Amino acid sequence: MTTTLAGGRSMTIPMFLSLLMVVTSLSLLFITSCIMVATINL
């Protein structure tokens, strides 16, 4: 029981980091696409 809890606790940090990386990459893609659309419209 304790080992599984420790494993789950240690696994939450990499999952959080990967989620943060995905969110940042998606936001960067969104920003770049918005900039490209703005430049095309100009």
Concatenating the DSSP letter of every residue in 1-42 gives -HHHHHHHHHHHHHHHHHHHHHHHHHHHHHHHHHHHHHHHH-
pLDDT in tens, 1-42: 455 555 556 667 788 889 999 999 999 999 999 999 999 987
- Global pTM reads 0.58
Q: How far apart are CA 23 and CA 31, in angstroms?
A: 12
Q: Which domain range does residue 13 map to?
A: 1-42
What tokens were used for 22? 């995905």
What tokens were used for 1? 């029981």
Q: Specify the pLDDT at position 1.
A: 47
Total domains, the chain: 1
